[in-house]
Amino acid sequence: MPFKQIKSFDFLTEEEKTMLHQEADKLYARDWKTIAVTLIYKPRTYGGDGLDDAVKETEMKLGQWNMNKKGKSGKEKKISRMYVLNGKHKEVVEENMLDEDVEIQIWASRKTIDQKVCLALFVPEKDQEDTHD
């Protein structure tokens, strides 16, 4: 989730944002700290018998990546910041028939009991129809 496409960062506390930002500057991903989140989604796999209609929850890890890019002149460096979800992402991609052309929305909230971040994956109707062609 590129930062420039995120409408609000209010779903994270200041402490969480600071921790993710500091971790993104580490050299090796295995050293990064992440935030445990729950991803909620309704699988879009077609051709099924209706059993896939249930909403699913899966535990994932939210982290931050800082990608270095060259500027227009090729000399100065730009940093592209993004949040990434790790864990069962391949399963989520397959069950939702996602590819680089499918636009998704991610909605965020917190569980009342433990204040854990919950993310809901939503595929707008337009892209649901396009994947069946």
Most confident of 1-5, 50-54, 124-128: 1-5
Confidence at residue 60, expressed as pLDDT on a 0 to 100 scale: 92
Q: Minimal CA–CA distance to 117: which of 6, 7, 10, 1?
A: 10
Contacts (Cβ under 8 Å, ≥6 apart) of 12? 20, 35, 117
Q: Minimal CA–CA distance to 82: which of 67, 102, 60, 103?
A: 67
Confidence at residue 76, expressed as pLDDT on a 0 to 100 scale: 62
Q: Confidence band (pLDDT; 50, 70, 90) for 119?
A: very high
